[in-house]
Structure formats: C-alpha cells, structure tokens
Amino acid sequence: MCGRYGRRADKQRIAEWFRTHNTNVFNDSELAPTYNAAPQSFQPVIRLNPETGEREIAIMKWGMVPYWSTTVKLKYSTINANADRLTTSGVWREPFKSRRCLVPANFFFEWPVVDGEKQARAFSLKDDSPFAFAGLWDRWKDKETGEVLESFAIVTVEPNEWMAKYHDRMGVIVEPKNYQRWLEPGEVHSLPFDLLRPYPEEDMKSWRVSDKVGNTRNNWAELIEPVLDDEPKSERASKRAKPKKKPPPRGLFDDF
C-alpha cells in the first residue's frame, strides 16, 4: 500500500486559502510544506469545528481508522474511499454523512507504465494553485488507554479521459466555491453527491519527475522538478537511489 501527494503551502498560505481561524495553535514545523506525503504520515486537513461551525485545521493520520474498530491496525487499506461505496460501506457511511474534510495539496504522484517502464509523474492544476481533495475523517479511541487518534481518507472516483491514460482512479478535487458544501454535515437527501466527479482535464497538467519520490524518506522541493523524457536512462539511473528488490510504489488512488 503506497501513495503520494505534496503541498507547497505553509501555515499562512493554508489559513489564507481555506479561511481557517486556528493556525495559532500550531507551530511552523507542524504545517511546513511537504513534497512527499505518504500513507500513515500525519497531515493537515480542514474541517468544521463542531462547536463553533468555523473552519479549522486539524493534524490527522492518513489512513482512516473507523471509530468502531477494535484495533488501530487494520487488515485493509483506508487511505482511499471509493465514491461508489460511501453509502454502502460501514467504514465510510457515517463519515460521509457527518465527518467530511478537505485535504490541502498542490500536486500528487502516480506511476504509469510507459513503453514498458514505470514512470514517476506529478499532477497538478495548470495554474499551480493549491487545491483540496475531498476527504473523510474519523475519531478512534482506545478503550484501555483512552488514546485518541484522528485520521482521514481521500475520496476517489473514475478519472477523466486524460487522467485515465495514467490511472483508473483519481481523487475528487473540490472547487473553492464548494468547500462549505463539502464540509457541512447533512442528512442523506442533502449529501453532496454531485461533487463526486472527476476534475476537468483541461485544467490539469502532468510532468515526469525523479524516481526518488518512490522513497518515502525523500522529502524536498527538487522531487517535483521536471525530468525530460528524452534524458538518457544511464543519466537518470545515476540520479536515483540504488534500486531495491521490491515492487514499484502503487499510485495514490489505487484501490485495495
């Protein structure tokens, strides 16, 4: 299980973009940019404060643990929530109804096969602006220790025609005008099903990046610099870490 996305935005930029009101409770390192966010890492999400109704930032673990689970270690992947199962799966049903969130990002990675070769590629909006994945979150509590864990998943749908060349799923990207609709809880008849759609392909772009993004320990801005497709393979190989005998990373939106 593996997926990647990244965020250039720091604490101030997140607060401005999402109009949050609680950035003062976090230090700069907790909301620093990340260029290689991976499953099981802790990342910022935007949700509505249950008491004030205002948008707030929360730091959550990527890989949602349902509130009813008896253990924090699940036997199945919950980094992605298939939009087709949001109302039928016991994992997603309640979070979709009342615990939706926004996941700040600037880009994500996939590993399509091109001419028989796995290629690391980055995807973003054409204007490079921040965007938000549609997310779900939950709060799990250890009955013995009282430990509380908040965690999230990214909702996925079938891709647009352009994205389908690279992967058979894509994350739901919520437009700013729909942020509040996505965040507000509601009954079944008022749930934002119409927002569960692929983002327009004409507003997206993609470029090849270094294979070093496949290593979760690598996290620096150079990871998203373009790699020319016609760059000699020997030169590309010299730039990346020594390969290990394991399958290449799965994409952000692989379903399990």
Residues designated as active site: 2, 110
The three-point CA angle 169-75-158 to 5° equals 10
Q: How far is CA 35 from CA 28, 128, 165, in A?
A: 16, 14, 24
Q: Which of 203, 242, 250, 210 is nearest to 226 (CA)?
A: 210
CB 196: neighbour CB atoms within 10 A?
18
